[in-house]
Amino acid sequence: MTSDIGLAILGCGVVGTGTIELLARRNQTIAARLGRPITVRHVVVRDLAKSRPVLDPSTRVHTDALAAINDPAVSVVVELIGGLSPARSLIEHALRLGKSVVTANKSLLAAHGPALFQLARQHNQVIAFEASCAGGIPIIDALTRGLCANDIRQIVGIINGTCNFILSKMSLENLSYADALKGAQQAGFAEADPTLDVSGRDAAQKLAILSSLAFSQQVSEGDVSCTGIDTLDAREITFARELGYTIKLLATGTRDLATSRLALSVSPTLVRHTDMLADVSGGFNAVSVWGDAVGHTLFYGKGAGSLPTASSVVSDIISVATGQAKLLFDSATVWPDLTARASIMPADAVLQRSYLRLAAVDRPGVLARVTDILGQHGISLGAVLQHEAADETHVPVIITTHLARRGNLLLAIEQIDALDVIGAPTVHLPILDSPGE
């Protein structure tokens, strides 16, 4: 048996611990498949006093990331710190020393992926990042290899487990957003500061990475129109259910067939009860991909957690060790350092069906005034739902529309909200429309 594959694992939190545990559990199987063992030579941590029972006593545990990377016995650096700094400088240092990198850092890749990939290429190395977007779901492999024969038209994902857990609680248990968030924090699905998740930014970062690969265009987080769930009223979930929909935080990327421009968004979205995405609950993730040859595909699994995410990390380590990751990195042209900047469709130009909730005075002729304004902007109605007034002044009126330009919808809403018969600002959410088979 030849020399081993030495690892430096930077970060020993939830994913780092799971990675070490999974490598230990599968060490003999992995060694048999590779023809040589994988050895964790360094584990770099912030707090040496913290107990870590999964670590082998012979493993060097310390706080010096540069010393770990500089070790000549280390050939693969596994970055599980997260964030932009010091993760970026450490990855750059590893690449310049001629060492491959495995990372789960979606924030870093969404912000600086092209530059890091270019640096890896300059030093004849590879960056593998399966764990960055959907936990244990092998969606990166699917987009770069399994679906490479397809011209991909659309990608739609539930790719933030925290938000999906919260929305599932609101939908299934009729909880308010605040109560559902508290439950998510108690269950370990949400951080003490959940802003990155509930604002939609986490999903936007992942969508930027996935869209870059799916559409072979360089996408950044700033290209994604983003609305989170932190302002979602539980009434929307109730009314959507009555209309036959479930609300999910969807990350959606669609390529216009005529212009190749991309429409990229993260938003609470109405999904038909009959759509498989509507059944994705709790901390699970799912990604739908539409290709011209394969049609609709769905990838489903645990989107976070110690061992599910470690599954992707370890698979990347094995892929790097066998040379498969490097071969694909060298031969494929989908990587964002090799593609042109994406052409982004303005959000106002996107065609979508929409859900509206108006607070209208309970008076004859109000709905006619509203529909007249919608008609002036080329927006036709799909359905109307009206409840009895919750108070003696205003009644909720729910409208779904047919396809219309988002910009026209916003102009119509501005005029509607200016009517003397409308109370609170009108709520509007997109409705999912997917390509046919």
CA gap 288, 255 in Å, rounded: 14
Task: Single out the residue of 131, 161, 168, 188 nearest to residue 315, CA to CA.
Answer: 131
Spatial separation of the C-alpha atoms in residues 281 and 364, rounded to whole Å: 41
Interstrand relation of 127-128 and 100-103 (parallel, antiparallel or unpaired): parallel
3-state SS class at 56: coil
Contact 226, 200 (CB under 8 A): yes
In angstroms, the CA 107 to CA 337 distance is 17
- Edge-to-edge strands of the sheet including 38-44? 60-62, 38-44, 5-10, 76-79, 100-103, 127-128
Residues 6+ apart with CB under 8 A from 95: 101, 116, 119, 120, 123, 125, 127
CA 411 → CA 228, 346, 348, 367, 429, distances in Å? 22, 15, 10, 17, 15
Nearest to 250 by CA among 264, 267, 271: 267
Dihedral angle, C-alpha 402, 408, 412, 413, nearest 10 °: 80
Q: Which of 99, 106, 169, 206 is catalytic?
A: 206
Contact 303, 264 (CB under 8 A): no
Known catalytic membership, residue 206: yes
Q: H or E stretch including 70?
A: helix 65-70
Contacts of 267 (CB under 8 A, 6+ apart): 200, 225, 226, 227, 249, 250, 252, 429, 430
Q: How far apart (Å, rounded) are the C-alpha atoms in residues 268 and 283? A: 16
* Strand-pair partners of 225: 265
Active site positions, annotated? 206
